[in-house]
C-alpha cells in the first residue's frame, strides 16, 4: 500500500489542478455539489481511504488557499494606497476611509450572491454599485479611480479593461 506521506501531497497537487480546471468552467458554477466530488470519490476508492477524510483534505486546502489569496490582495491594496499617500494623491485619512469602505463592501457582497444572476442583472447591479461608490468617493473628495473594490465583481466582465471601476 502507498504511504500516506505520498498520498496527501498528491491530493494537494490534484486539488490544485482540479480546482483550476473546474473554477473556470461556467457549467460548474451552477452546480450545487463540489466539482471535485467525483475526484474525491475516486481517490478514496483507489487508495482505500475514507471519502470524508479525503474531502476534508480538499476543503482544508481550498480554505487555506482562499485565505492566503485574500490576505495577499489586502496587502497589495494597502501598499497601493500607501503609495498614493506618498505620491500626495490622497491623504492618510482618505486612505483609511477607502480601506474602511472596501471592508464594508467586502462584507456586503459574497460571491454566491452573483451565481444565479443573469448577465443583465449583473450589469444593473454593477452599475448601481459603481454609481453608489462614485458618489461616496466624491463626497469624501476622493478621486473615484483610486477605488478598486476587490470583492469579486471585477471577474464578471463588466468593463473588461484595466484595473478599477472608473475609467
Tens digits of residue pLDDT in 118-145: 889 888 888 888 888 889 999 999 988 8
Q: Would you call 87 exposed, middle or buried from its count of C-beta atoms within 10 A (0-12, 13-18, 19+)? A: exposed
Q: Please check the confidence at residue 108 and state whether its pLDDT lies above 90.
A: no
SS3 114: coil
Stretch 74-81: mean pLDDT: 92
What residue ranges do the domains of the chain occupy? 1-89, 96-167
Long-range CB pairs of 120-124, under 8 A, 24+ apart, other chains included: 122/156, 122/158, 123/158
Which pTM was predicted? 0.60
Q: What percentage of the chain has pLDDT greater than the value 90?
A: 40
Q: Would you call 101 exposed, middle or buried from its count of C-beta atoms within 10 A (0-12, 13-18, 19+)? A: middle
Locus of grid cell 450545487 = 32
Amino acid at each position: 500500500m502507498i504511504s500516506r506521506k505520498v498520498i496527501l501531497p498528491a491530493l494537494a497537487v490534484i486539488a490544485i489542478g482540479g480546482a483550476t480546471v473546474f473554477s473556470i468552467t461556467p457549467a460548474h458554477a451552477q452546480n450545487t455539489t463540489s466539482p471535485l466530488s467525483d475526484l474525491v470519490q475516486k481517490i478514496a476508492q483507489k487508495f482505500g481511504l475514507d471519502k470524508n477524510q479525503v474531502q476534508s483534505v480538499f476543503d482544508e486546502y481550498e480554505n487555506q488557499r482562499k485565505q492566503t489569496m485574500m490576505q495577499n490582495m489586502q496587502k497589495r491594496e494597502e501598499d497601493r494606497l500607501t503609495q498614493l499617500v506618498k505620491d500626495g494623491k490622497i491623504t492618510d485619512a482618505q486612505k483609511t476611509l477607502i480601506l474602511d469602505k472596501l471592508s464594508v463592501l467586502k462584507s456586503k457582497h459574497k460571491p454566491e450572491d452573483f451565481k444565479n444572476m443573469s448577465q443583465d442583472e449583473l450589469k444593473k447591479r454593477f452599475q448601481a454599485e459603481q454609481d453608489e461608490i462614485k458618489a461616496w468617493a466624491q463626497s469624501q473628495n476622493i478621486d473615484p479611480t483610486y477605488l478598486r473594490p476587490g470583492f469579486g465583481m471585477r471577474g464578471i466582465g463588466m468593463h473588461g479593461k484595466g484595473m478599477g471601476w472608473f475609467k
